[in-house]
Structures are given as C-alpha cells and as structure tokens.
C-alpha cells in the first residue's frame, strides 16, 4: 500500500510487460521482464476480463531455457480443454457457501465506504462495437462540472480510487481535462484511472494523462485494420497513432504511468501474438489482457445484449471453451456479487446505479445530486440489496437474473486488503 497522499506512479525499475491470458488460458499469466532483461513465467489464478489487474507474482520461475514466449504460450494453449473443465469446477467450489465466512469481515468494512468511484462522466461513445449495447442508449449526456465537483468534494473526504468511464467514452467529455486536474488537490484520491477506446486520446489530452499520473486502460480489442474497423466502426489509423504517441511519450518519463490494453479479439491467440501491432505495443512499458472471443468472454450486459445472436453470427458457441467458461458459470453463481461492495457506479446525471452491468440504469440505488456518497452507499436500498446477496438470493434482484457479468465474491480479497484499501497497482 502507498500512503494516502502519494499519487500512484510506476517505479520504472519495476515496470514490466504483462501478458494476461483470458478464460481459455485458465490460470496462466506470462510476465515479460523489463526489456531487454530476462523473462519470468508466473502462474496465477484464472484471470477474467473484469479482473484485468496486476497481481503480485506468487510463483516466479527464473532462469528457464530460452524458448520464445509465443512458442511457450502456443504449447500451453493446446492443453486448454482440460484446464477449462478444471477451472469451472474450481470456481464452483471457490464460490460455494462453504467459504462465505472468509469474505464476511472484508465485506462489512467495504460497506462503510466505496473504495472506488466509477464515474461514467458521459455515456456517449463514438465507437459502435458489435458486442456492446451502448448504441441503444437514448438518454445521453455528460456530467456537468458543478455536479462533478460536488461528488469529488464529498468523495475526497475519505478518498479512494477515481475511475473515469464505464458505459461511455470518457474522453468525449469536453471537460475531462478539467475534471482530471481538479483531482490533484485531493491527497485522499489515491489513484486515478481512465478506461478509453483511445480514439480521442490525442496530443491534447496525452500530456494531461501523463502529468497527472492517470493510469490508462485501453479497450483496443482488435489489432488489424480490417477486423478493428469491422468490429468497432471507427478509424484504426487514428487509434493506432494515438496509442503509439502515448506509449512513446510514456516511455520517456522517469516515472511512467500504468498503461493496460484490453484485447478481446475474434482472432486466435496465435494470430494475435504474431500481429505486428501487438509486437509494437508489447515492446513498450505496458500490460496486456488478451482474451480471444471464442472463449465466451463477451458479456450479455445483464440480458440487454443479444449475446446468443452474436455468438451464432460469428460461429462461436460450442465446445468446451464455451461450455465451461466463467461467463456460463456466472449465470448460475449464487454467491454474492462483488459489485455491491467493490465500487460505486455513478451515471453522468449523478444517479447511482447498481453496478457496471447496469448500462440502462434499470436499478438506480440513489442520487448524488441530492444525497451524499455515505447516504447512498450505506442507505436502505443498497443495504437491503446486499442482504439479499449475502443470503444468496441474487436471483430475487431482477437485473441480476440473467447476468453473466456477476463478479466472484472471493475476488474481493484480490482487490482490497483486510483494511478495505485497494491494492494499488491494479486496474479495477
């Protein structure tokens, strides 16, 4: 943990490139050491898209025979079917009620104050990704500065993590620069993150991100022009240039900011590892969360996205990688969903929604225009919903009934320490 007043930056001596493999990879994370130094293979818990976070290495093997990382990964990928089944079983045991007691104390502490604030400063998005229901949103807007200041002034009393972007593209907010800079006067804001598709991450905003130590999480997804533009409906060249500009500027810093890439792709793992843009990216200081879509990692957005239609359209939907995926397990998991403790999700108009699956604001739990953060977080609505979750009655909450985003209860311990402080250095 860093002291509360310290802004989060990465120590360059410790920076490394991390390739995180998604569900199909069932529990493997390959960490590449600081270029051009040696490499290490870290085995960790099965990562998920929602958990694209940097975990402290638990088992580092060094000095192994120099086989190219891509070959090691390809060899290992062949074993996936076995691991998929084992991983599914592991999840069932891990999230069973047998171990609820292990999370209880932490959950009680987290219910006192939101350790992270997810601010959807605008729900507008320039991209039209084929697997995202955002284009169906009708009530579009951006958070006004006076409302933003009210929320931040309130949150900064106890502080935590501020994260920009949930349902929309935060760099479309015309006041995003001002919003980021406003945070600097609050030492209790321990970390600032932005989740972006990088289209508007141009020379006007890059200095702001770097000077203010903002951790940048980029939803890149596809790496070649044709697939990228087919899937995301925006210019590949613009995004590519912005990314390279950011990475090069960041590399020049004494204290680079954390940059992470989310790549959920229609391509195979092998095709991705061979991609030239992938190799450019991973030659810079960054982490990469790579999950092929064929492994059923697309969300159904709590039933608001026709995922089955999407899977059919793209010929995905059979095989063990889908049957034993964590998304399939999430549909039936009765464990409390971590979202009600993990963070507070604030809509652009100040309303607080249940979770990051509630893009259409179907389950508002409060409103920060009138109420305080403490009043909403500890209020009757959220308290009653948490009680339902604890009683393993998730399916009595309408929005939760058909949701495959459900976050593992026990992973709360991966995100927060026993004092309910976020493990700094992770993307939430």
Q: Which is nearer to ligand SF4, 265 or 339 (CB)?
A: 339
Helices (H) and strands (E) in the chain, counts: 17, 13
Q: Which is nearer to ligand SF4, 394 or 410 (CB)?
A: 394
The answer for 319, left when phi > 0, alpha when psi is -120 to 50, beta otherwise, is: left
Sorted by sequence, the CB contacts under 8 Å of residue 119 that are 6+ apart come out as 143, 148, 151, 162, 163, 164, 165, 166, 170, 346
CB of 338 to ligand SF4, least distance (A): 8
How many residues are there in the chain?
428
Q: 281: part of which helix (H) or strand (E)?
A: helix 276-281
Q: What CA–CA distance (Å, rounded) separates 415 from 163?
A: 14
Q: Tokens in use for 417?
A: 């320490």
Do the strands 116-119 and 160-164 form a parallel or antiparallel pair, or are they unpaired?
parallel
CB of 356 to ligand SF4, least distance (A): 7
Q: Give the number of other Cβ atoms within 10 Å of residue 35's Cβ.
A: 13
CB of 104 to ligand SF4, least distance (A): 18
Identify the CA nearest to 144 among candidates 126, 168, 119, 127.
119
Q: What CA–CA distance (Å, rounded) separates 147 from 152?
A: 9
End-to-end CA distance of the chain: 15
CB of 337 to ligand SF4, least distance (A): 3
Q: Which is nearer to ligand SF4, 132 or 405 (CB)?
A: 405
Q: Which is nearer to ligand SF4, 374 or 399 (CB)?
A: 399
Q: Which is nearer to ligand SF4, 84 or 408 (CB)?
A: 408
CB of 302 to ligand SF4, least distance (A): 4
Q: Which is nearer to ligand SF4, 16 or 386 (CB)?
A: 386
Q: What CA–CA distance (Å, rounded) separates 48 from 120?
A: 22
CB of 364 to ligand SF4, least distance (A): 13
Q: Under the rule (CB under 6 A), what is the footprint of ligand SF4? A: 302, 337, 339, 354-355, 357, 394, 399-400, 403, 405-406
Q: 289: part of which helix (H) or strand (E)?
A: strand 287-292
Q: Which is nearer to ligand SF4, 68 or 398 (CB)?
A: 398
CB of 126 to ligand SF4, least distance (A): 25
Q: Which is nearer to ligand SF4, 220 or 382 (CB)?
A: 382
Identify the CA nearest to 189 among candidates 138, 150, 152, 164.
152
Q: What CA–CA distance (Å, rounded) separates 168 from 181?
A: 20
CB of 355 to ligand SF4, least distance (A): 3
Q: 3-state SS of 308-330? A: HHHHHHCCCCCCHHHHCCHHHHH
CB of 277 to ligand SF4, least distance (A): 32
Q: Which is nearer to ligand SF4, 285 or 330 (CB)?
A: 330
CB of 406 to ligand SF4, least distance (A): 4
Q: What CA–CA distance (Å, rounded) separates 92 from 247?
A: 40
Identify the CA nearest to 90 among candidates 121, 138, 122, 46.
46
Q: What CA–CA distance (Å, rounded) separates 414 from 341?
A: 13
């Amino acid at each position: 943990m860093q002291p509360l007043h310290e802004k989060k930056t990465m120590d360059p001596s410790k920076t490394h490139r991390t390739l995180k493999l998604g569900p199909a990879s069932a529990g493997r994370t390959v960490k590449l050491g600081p270029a051009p130094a040696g490499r290490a293979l870290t085995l960790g818990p099965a990562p998920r898209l929602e958990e694209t976070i940097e975990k402290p290495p638990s088992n580092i093997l060094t000095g192994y025979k120099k086989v190219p990382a891509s070959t090691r990964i390809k060899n290992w990928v062949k074993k996936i079917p076995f691991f998929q089944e084992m991983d599914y079983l592991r999840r069932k045991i891990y999230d069973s009620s047998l171990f609820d007691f292990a999370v209880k104390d932490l959950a009680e502490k987290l219910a006192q104050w939101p350790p992270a604030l997810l601010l959807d400063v605008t729900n507008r998005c320039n991209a039209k990704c084929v697997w995202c229901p955002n284009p169906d949103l009708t009530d579009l807007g951006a958070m006004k500065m006076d409302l933003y200041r009210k929320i931040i002034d309130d949150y900064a009393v106890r502080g935590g993590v501020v994260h920009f972007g949930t349902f929309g593209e935060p760099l479309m907010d015309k006041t995003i620069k001002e919003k980021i800079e406003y945070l600097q006067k609050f030492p209790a804001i321990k970390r600032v993150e932005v989740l972006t598709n990088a289209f508007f991450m141009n020379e006007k905003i890059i200095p702001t991100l770097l000077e203010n130590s903002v951790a940048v999480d980029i939803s890149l997804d596809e790496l070649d022009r044709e697939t990228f533009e087919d899937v995301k409906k925006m210019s590949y060249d613009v995004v590519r240039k912005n990314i390279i500009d950011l990475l090069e500027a960041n590399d020049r810093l004494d204290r680079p900011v954390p940059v992470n890439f989310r790549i959920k792709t229609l391509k195979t793992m092998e095709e991705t590892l061979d991609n030239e843009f992938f190799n450019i990216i991973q030659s810079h200081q960054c982490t990469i969360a790579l999950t092929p879509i064929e492994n059923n990692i697309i969300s159904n957005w709590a039933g608001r996205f026709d995922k089955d239609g999407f899977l059919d359209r793209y010929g995905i939907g059979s095989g063990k990688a889908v049957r034993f995926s964590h998304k399939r397990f999430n549909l039936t998991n009765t464990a409390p969903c971590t979202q009600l403790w993990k963070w507070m999700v604030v809509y652009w108009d100040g309303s607080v929604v249940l979770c990051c699956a509630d893009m259409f604001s179907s389950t508002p739990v409060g409103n920060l225009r009138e109420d305080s953060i403490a009043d909403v977080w500890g209020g009757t609505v959220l308290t009653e919903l948490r009680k339902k979750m604890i009683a393993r009655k998730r399916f009595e909450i309408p929005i939760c009934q058909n949701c495959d985003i459900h976050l593992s209860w026990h992973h709360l311990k991966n995100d927060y320490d026993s004092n309910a402080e976020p493990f700094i250095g992770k993307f939430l």
